[in-house]
Amino acid sequence: MTRSLNCVFTGKSTSAIPGGEFKEWIMNEAKNLSLTGWVRSLHDDRLEVLIQGTEENIQLFRVHLLQGPPLSKVENMECKWIEYEKSFSDFEVRQ
């Protein structure tokens, strides 16, 4: 089991493909902070992120996530610490 941060939120963007751009931005932010895990779209247009790494970098990622990418807005973010059954070696975008 690996201690992980799991967040679900709504991302709004003025761009044409908000979900895709949000996921790419999240992946880049995670990789820049040496974090692993994944991001995926949920059936109700929200995004879900699972992050693993140092607690310091995870907290910094959470701050970045709340701010969101340029021309975007993050709303209704709910995060919780969980024990996840798998450890990741990279960060991936899931479908």
pLDDT at 11: 79
Report the alpha-carbon distance of residue 25 to residue 65 in Å, rounded.
Answer: 9
Q: Is residue 62 in a domain?
A: yes
Q: Is residue 94 in a domain?
A: no
Q: Is residue 93 in a domain?
A: no
Six token digits for residue 71: 């021309």
Domains: count for the chain: 1
Q: 52 has which bridge partners?
A: 36
Q: Which three-class secondary structure state does DSSP give residue 57?
A: helix
Q: Is residue 78 in a domain?
A: yes
pLDDT at 15: 61
pLDDT at 21: 79
Q: Is residue 70 in a domain?
A: yes
Query: The domain that contains 42 carries what CATH number?
Result: 3.30.70.100
pLDDT at 19: 55
Q: Is residue 16 in a domain?
A: yes
pLDDT tens, residue order, the chain (95 aa): 899 999 999 877 666 455 567 888 999 999 999 999 999 999 998 999 999 999 999 999 999 999 888 878 888 999 999 999 999 999 999 98
pLDDT at 3: 93
- Alpha helices of 14-93 — where are they, by DSSP H? 18-32, 55-67
Report the alpha-carbon distance of residue 34 to residue 16 in Å, rounded.
Answer: 29
Q: Is residue 18 in a domain?
A: yes
pLDDT at 20: 65
Q: Is residue 95 in a domain?
A: no
Residues 6+ apart with CB under 8 A from 89: 36
pLDDT at 87: 96
Structural domain that includes position 18: 2-88
pLDDT at 72: 82
